[in-house]
Amino acid sequence: MASRLLAFVVAVAMVLGAVAVRARINDGDSKSGSAGRSGPLELVCATELRQVCDAIDAGASGLSVTVEPAAVTADRLESTELKDAAIDGWLAPGPWGELVDAARPSDTGKLFADSGAPLARSPFVLAVWKDKRAKLACPDPVDLGCVGDAVNTREFKLGVAADDQAEGVLADAALGAGHIKNPNFATNDLTETDLSDWLAGVDTNADRVARNPGGRSFAEMLTFGFAVAEGYLSTEAVIGPQLARAAKRSQLDLVYVVPAATADVLFAPRTGDRGTRLRDVVRGERALEALRANGWRVPGRPAVAGINPNALKLAADDGLPSAGVLQALRDVTK
């Protein structure tokens, strides 16, 4: 009799525990606006990670994957009510989930949970035609502030990712850090110094380059030569592997610029159960291997050709300002 009573008590306790856990999950989903949503988990990926997200999609069931420029996602989510936000997680270079939550009204609740450690990283580098490097007039080590000055005076034609791309916003921040000599610059630096005007000038002249074939990507610069772009600022993940296999590789220098800044691949999970489930998928083996294969530095994994971890040891942080400052920068360079 005693044993049957004990078994009954244990069974009741297990049921109550399950109910409590489910209640906590439902409460989290309710606060995140994802309560009542069903169907495939919604993964949104920045354009730079298209191949990575294609690999994730190919290896998992129950996913719906959208690939689009990070700024397009951000603009949509900043003005969308929690209950209407059709997203369970966002994979992008940089803290875009945090950026969106910083831009949303404080009384609307957070859309994303903490991203945690980066899945992969890549430092910003400059590929420059050797015949045009003297136009930079920048001593070694090449400082991004000096690069920006040369672009501002139109002495040097620089290609860089568009402002609607995750990489483009991070590149603007890296250039700004070089100009102001402070990677942790704040929003007030945009108004109390010449930083906003300086960045706007750099951005305008870089846009002139990017409007023409030969300046819209590093691949185009390799094809068209230096007639349009004399250098290209991007991540090592983009430039390194392409340069390593390029027929013209001996005609270019790969420069690890200072101050060092990195694009960190972060997954921002939606708060609640759906975001947690998607996080387990995105942090899986297939995603990490796809990142490595596409030139990203993934901890504990060998680098592909064109990636040289010994050329620059990465610091613990990304060398860029906070998500709130990145959001303010978007307003400067739009």
Same domain assignment for residues 138 and 255: yes
Give domain status of residue 179, yes or no: yes
The last residue of one of the domains, among 262, 290, 323, is 262
pLDDT in tens, the chain (334 residues): 444 433 443 343 443 343 343 434 344 454 555 555 689 999 999 999 999 999 999 999 999 999 999 999 999 999 899 999 999 999 999 999 999 999 998 888 899 999 999 999 999 999 999 999 999 999 999 999 999 999 999 999 999 999 999 999 999 999 999 999 999 999 999 999 999 999 999 999 999 999 999 999 999 999 999 999 999 999 999 999 999 999 999 999 999 999 999 999 999 999 999 999 999 999 999 999 999 999 999 999 999 999 999 999 999 999 999 999 999 999 998 7
Give domain status of residue 256, yes or no: yes
Same domain assignment for residues 130 and 152: yes
Instruction: Render pLDDT for 189-237 as a digit per residue (tens, 0 to 9).
Output: 999 999 999 999 999 999 999 999 999 999 999 999 999 999 999 999 9
Give domain status of residue 150, yes or no: yes
Same domain assignment for residues 213 and 315: no
Same domain assignment for residues 135 and 249: yes
Same domain assignment for residues 69 and 82: yes
Give domain status of residue 33, yes or no: no
Whether pTM > 0.85 for this model: the answer is yes
The last residue of one of the domains, among 230, 262, 294, is 262
The enclosing domain of 249 has a CATH number of: 3.40.190.10
User: Which has the closest alpha carbon to 218: 334, 125, 311, 151?
Assistant: 125
The strand pair at 252-256 and 120-129 is best described as antiparallel
Indicate the number of domains in the chain: 2
pLDDT of residue 108: 84
Give domain status of residue 24, yes or no: no
Q: Which residues of 250-263 are buried (b: 16+ CB within 10 A; e: fewer)?
A: eebebbebbbbbbb
Same domain assignment for residues 152 and 276: no
The last residue of one of the domains, among 222, 245, 262, is 262
As a three-state string, the secondary structure of 242-281 is: HHHCCCCHHHEEEEECECCCEEEEEEEEECCHHHHHHHHH
Q: Which domain holds residue 78?
A: 38-120+264-333
Same domain assignment for residues 150 and 42: no
Give domain status of residue 273, yes or no: yes
Q: Decide if 46 contacts 288 (C-beta within 8 A).
A: no
